[in-house]
Structure formats: structure tokens, C-alpha cells
């Protein structure tokens, strides 16, 4: 619910304004976002006024009964733009000339506010604000024009990536690779399926007999108190069909599944149990599934979906064709890069340290599996990584020392000696700056 505009603002002669709400725990990050947005677009002859206030009465969330709801950490604010020339002209010139100046001023403010809205949307992603713009409306009251941005929070807030499900033409060959080379443990097997766990005992990869090698599903963990009824409603409002399934994956009693725009099935869950604890493993032995990357025709569009629907944040861009998204302190849990058709680019597993990377390369060499790329240190994420291809020709990354965003409010990655920027914040990287060291990527890598 948004109150009538004449109840919100003082009677400025003409103005344009924007409202923003963010999950930042204090108002300072919101102020910074607005100032960044305005400084990027505002003209020299435009005054900028900002006001911020906790628990603003005109931006509230309501339940089905109309009861106002607010979550902790909400901050609301408004931005007012006024044309200096307009006030001076109206004080010194006649009515007709003032009317002409008024029309010109409104057009200028319209243009500034529209550009400011776009800059603000980009800033919310770039600097870690968790708000998502749902509605932008124009209100005209007499000679006043206001632009309002009403924001809402994602009901779905993914906390971590869980496991990936792969179809494979040769299930036994796939099991052999993941247990003897990759170093996962076989936690269960039935009816053309196999469940593999990391050394920590968490379900990491699910294999299914299929016609072709492909990644079909990704699971993501939600908070223990996740409201699945509210999540189903949000997905319905987005026009997304979903279904609840039980006991479809080992150790996960219930999950909610739906398809993302590129056709990958997303599985959400909040309850799980260890499936591979106290099991010895051979091979490399990763700690966890770290991230999955996909080729898509439009990386920006699919990234917007993951931000809007699942609460992901953008960590970095590589030029305009490769985006890195995070859902927790890890720099990225899912990536999208531009390609002619949708398919998985690579899957990545986290190792303990650089020595573990060296041991992994030794084991791959002993197994006569050549490295495709690496070792190297990336620019975006700064992880040390090495790539090879598995039994099905899928690209697999082992990595360590991935950047961590430990405090979203601070907005920079935990400082490390090898960081290019001081501090290292989300940004758009140039291709020439990646990797920071190591061989260049092979011609067919991207």
C-alpha cells in the first residue's frame, strides 16, 4: 500500500521523487546507493534532497487480512529532485514565461528520474542491496509529478547450493569416475540412479541413467523456517508452476521443484540429513559442490531471474558476457556466460588448499586425464583453479581460495594480499585482466 502522494511530500512547486526500501540493517548503504545513482545522472542545475526514516508509514507490506507487516532491518527513503532554474525564473519572470520554463523543467526532471531509476536498479545489484524493484509508477498531482519505486523482498532466499543432478548414458562409468577419480563416496544406488556424497557426508551429485550427458537439476537449501506456502504463492504470482516432491533425493525428505527460464529444474529444500558420513573415500576428495556454470543466450536476463526470484546477488561481471552470482559469502554459486545454446559450461568442487590442488593434478596425471586449463588464479573470485574433462566430456573445475563476501553491508570481499583492488568490490572486469596469473584459456573454453 502506498499513501496518496499529497500526504507524503510537502507541497513543492514541482519535483520528481523516488522511494526505495532495502534490507540493509541501517540507512547508510541506502543513502550511498541513492547518491551513487543521482551523481551518475543529475544535471548541474538540479537540487538533490534525500530523506531517510525507519518504519516509513507509507511503505508497508500487508498480509491477506490487511495487517501491516515489516521485517527487521527495513529502511525506507525518498529522493527529491528540483530544478534550480525553475524557481529562479518563476521569481523573476511573468506567468507565461514561467509556464514555458515549467514545461521544460518537468521534461528535464522526467528524463533525469527515468535514468536515475535505471541507475538505482543497477546499483541495488552492484552494491549488494537486497531489494527488488517490483513497481514503478508515475503520479501527477496538480503541477507536481512524482516517480515512486515500490520495492519488495524475495520470499525465496537461497542460502547455499546443495547438489547437482546429471543424466549420463553410462551410469557405471560415471560412478567409477566420481568415486575413483573425483573422490566422492557412493552413498546409495537404486533404479538407474546413484547418490554420491562429499567427504563431509553431504549429498553432492545425483546420477541418473539418460540418453545424453547433461545437468538436469540443481538443488538449493533454504533457511530451516522457510515458508513453503509463501514460496508457492510467489512462484504462482511469477507465473511459475511448481510441485512438491518427497523422498526424490537421498537425505532430503521434501523439496519444491520448478523450472528456471533456461529449462533447468530448481529444487528447493530446508530439511536434510547426512548421507555419506563415516565412509572412506579414494580419489581427490572435494569438500563440497561449489558452483555450476551454464551457457545461455542472454546472461543478463537469466541473472535478473535468479536475483528477483531466488534472492541471488551479482558478485562480478566479466565484460558483458559472463556473470557471477552469490547466495551466501562465497563469491559465486552459479554463473552464466553467453553461448549459442543452453548447456552446462562446467561444474566446480572446492578443495582444502593449494596443496590439495597440486595433489589433484598429480592424481589426474596418474589417471591419464589431462588438464584442460590451469593451474591459474582467476580475476573474478580470485580462486586458484584447474580444469579437466570427466568421463562424459563435461568440464570439471577443482578450486580453492574463492573470495568471500562476509559482510553484505560493508559491500567488499574479505581482503586478501592478491586482490587487484583495495578493497575488492563487485565490478565489471576486463577480459585482459583475467586470469591474474596462469596460462590463457584454450580456444574452446568460452
* pLDDT for the residue 115: 57
Q: Is residue 114, in this structure, part of any structural domain at all?
A: yes
61 and 197 belong to one structural domain: no
228 within domain boundaries = yes
Residues 186 and 145 in one domain: no
CATH number at residue 119: 3.30.70
Confidence of residue 147 (pLDDT cuts 50, 70, 90): very low
Residues 139 and 14: beta-carbon distance below 8 Å: no
- From 124, 152, 180, the end of a domain falls on 152
* Residue where a domain terminates, one of 152, 187, 205: 152
Residue 343 lies in a domain: yes
The yes-or-no verdict on residue 391 having pLDDT over 60 is: yes
Residue 116: which of 147, 85, 93, 145 has the closest Cα?
Answer: 147
E-assigned strand segments in 270-365: 288-296, 313-318, 322-326, 334-338, 343-350
Determine the Cα angle at 388 with ends 397 and 348, to 5°.
15
Confidence of residue 125 (pLDDT cuts 50, 70, 90): very low
Q: Which residue has the higher pLDDT, 35 or 298?
A: 298
Residue 89 lies in a domain: yes
pLDDT band at 122 (very low <50, low <70, confident <90, very high): low
pLDDT confidence bin for 308, thresholds 50/70/90: confident
CATH number at residue 285: 3.10.180.10
**Number of compact structural domains in the chain:** 2
Same domain, 236 and 311: yes
Residue 444 lies in a domain: no
Note whether residue 113 is domain-resident: yes
Is residue 344 situated within a structural domain?
yes
Q: Which residues contact 196 (CB under 8 A, 6 or more apart)?
A: 175, 178, 179, 184, 185, 186, 187, 203, 204, 205, 206, 207, 276
**Residue 137 and residue 196 in one domain:** no
End-to-end Cα distance, the chain: 46
Residue 404 has what DSSP assignment?
Answer: B
pLDDT higher than threshold 50 for residue 248: yes
Residues 184, 107 within the same domain: no
Q: What average pLDDT does range 49-69 have in this prediction?
A: 37
Based on the fold, state whether residues 203 and 318 are members of the same structural domain. yes
* Residue 88 within any structural domain of the chain: yes
Kindly report the average pLDDT of the chain as a whole number: 76
180-to-108, 193, 224, 355, 369 alpha-carbon distances in Å: 66, 18, 34, 19, 13
Instruction: Copy the grid coordinates of residue 173.
Output: 562409468
Q: Residue 46: which domain range? A: 7-152
End of a domain among 86, 121, 152?
Answer: 152
In the predicted structure, residue 63 carries a pLDDT above the cut 90? no
* Mean pLDDT of the 207-213 span: 96
Q: Is residue 16 scored above 70 in pLDDT?
A: no
Does residue 82 surpass a pLDDT of 70?
no
Amino acid at each position: 500500500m502506498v499513501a496518496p502522494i499529497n500526504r507524503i511530500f510537502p507541497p513543492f512547486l514541482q519535483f520528481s521523487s523516488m522511494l526505495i526500501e532495502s534490507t540493509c540493517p541501517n540507512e547508510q548503504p541506502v543513502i550511498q546507493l541513492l547518491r551513487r545513482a543521482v551523481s551518475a545522472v543529475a544535471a548541474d542545475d538540479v537540487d538533490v534532497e534525500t530523506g531517510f526514516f525507519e518504519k516509513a508509514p507509507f511503505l508497508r507490506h500487508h498480509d491477506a487480512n490487511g495487517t501491516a507487516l515489516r521485517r527487521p532491518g527495513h529502511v525506507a527513503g525518498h529522493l527529491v529532485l528540483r530544478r534550480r532554474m525553475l524557481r529562479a525564473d518563476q521569481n523573476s519572470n511573468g506567468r507565461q514565461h514561467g509556464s514555458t520554463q515549467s514545461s521544460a523543467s518537468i521534461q528535464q526532471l522526467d528524463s533525469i528520474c527515468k535514468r536515475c531509476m535505471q541507475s538505482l536498479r543497477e546499483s541495488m545489484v552492484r552494491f549488494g542491496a537486497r531489494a527488488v524493484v517490483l513497481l514503478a509508477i508515475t503520479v501527477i498531482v496538480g503541477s507536481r509529478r512524482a516517480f515512486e519505486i515500490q520495492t519488495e523482498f524475495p520470499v525465496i532466499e537461497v542460502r547455499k547450493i546443495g547438489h547437482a543432478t546429471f543424466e549420463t548414458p553410462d551410469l557405471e562409468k560415471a560412478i567409477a569416475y566420481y568415486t575413483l577419480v573425483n573422490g566422492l563416496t557412493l552413498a546409495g544406488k537404486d533404479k538407474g540412479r546413484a547418490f554420491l556424497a562429499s567427504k563431509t557426508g553431504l549429498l553432492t551429485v545425483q546420477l541418473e541413467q539418460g540418453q545424453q550427458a547433461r545437468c538436469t537439476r540443481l538443488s538449493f537449501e533454504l533457511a530451516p523456517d522457510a515458508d513453503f506456502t509463501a514460496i508457492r504463492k510467489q512462484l504462482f504470482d511469477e507465473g511459475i508452476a511448481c510441485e512438491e516432491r518427497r523422498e526424490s533425493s537421498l537425505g532430503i525428505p521434501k523439496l519444491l521443484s520448478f523450472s528456471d527460464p533456461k529449462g533447468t529444474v530448481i529444487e528447493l529444500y530446508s530439511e536434510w540429513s547426512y548421507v555419506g558420513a563415516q565412509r572412506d573415500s579414494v580419489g581427490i576428495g572435494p569438500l563440497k559442490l561449489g558452483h555450476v556454470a551454464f551457457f545461455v543466450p542472454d546472461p543478463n536476463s537469466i541473472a535478473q531471474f535468479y536475483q528477483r526470484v531466488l534472492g541471488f546477488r551479482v558478485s562480478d561481471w566479466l565484460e558483458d558476457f559472463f556473470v557471477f552470482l552469490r547466495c551466501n559469502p562465497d563469491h559465486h554459486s552459479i554463473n552464466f556466460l553467453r553461448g549459442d545454446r543452453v548447456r552446462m559450461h562446467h561444474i566446480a568442487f572446492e578443495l582444502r588448499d593449494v596443496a590439495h590442488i597440486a595433489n589433484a593434478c598429480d592424481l589426474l596425471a596418474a589417471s591419464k586425464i589431462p588438464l584442460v586449463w590451469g593451474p591459474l588464479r582467476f580475476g573474478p573470485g580470485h580462486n586458484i583453479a584447474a580444469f579437466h574433462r570427466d568421463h562424459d566430456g563435461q568440464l570439471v573445475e577443482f578450486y580453492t581460495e574463492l573470495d568471500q563476501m562476509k559482510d553484505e553491508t560493508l559491500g567488499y570481499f574479505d581482503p586478501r594480499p592478491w586482490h587487484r583492488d583495495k578493497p575488492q568490490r563487485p565490478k565489471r572486469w576486463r577480459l585482459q585482466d583475467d586470469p591474474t596469473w596462469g596460462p590463457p584459456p584454450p580456444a574452446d573454453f568460452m
